[in-house]
Structure 1
Amino acid sequence: MRDQRLEERGGKRVDDVEFTFTKGRWGHLGEATLVNRVRSHQDVGEKWYPDILKRIRDEQAAARKTAEEAEKPVARDERQEQGISKGDGAQAIRAH
């Protein structure tokens, strides 16, 4: 599965380590470490580092939106192009 996910992303990994320590993303290791801590302890981030926490949450929201768009069900027009009607899904499942 790992290889499949890498292939889907063009060889790019997406995980916590990459989020924090991507080369060139942060000015230095200390900044990357601080961002990682704020991400892990958002209650502290709300009080002491609200600007960093906002940036983290914005990035997470964008990543979620991208993931949701990638998993959207086939649109009605696309179903018609593929010759699938509304009721075909349940019949196809029962046939298997």
Structure 2
Amino acid sequence: MLDIKLWLETTSLKVSEERFLKPPPLPYIIFMEGASVSGADDKNCITDRDVSIELYSLKVDHANETLIEKLLNEKSIKYKKDRMWIDSEMMFETTYDFNFVEKF
């Protein structure tokens, strides 16, 4: 089972699930995860995981985007990338949304 937080911490950025109570200096990563568990023969053995990674930065951060994309590419995870300016916070948010299935 992939531990998303430990995996993202290999970028050396601050990482938190859902939110930081006191956000650290930019850049940092927030991730959210949902799961659907199923199986066969009255046993749960498959997890379908939906993950969203959010990179927050003062400017478009190609270096840290590349680190995240390298992690996704190493695991052959297909993803959707979006970027937006958050005017009220005066920062960029780059999101990576993906889904993968794990068998246990």
| TM-score (normalised: structure 2) | 0.27
Compare the two structures and name the one with the higher strand fraction.
Answer: 2
**Greater percentage in helix:** 1
Which has the higher relative contact order, 1 or 2, with Cα contacts under 8 A spaced 6 or more apart? 2
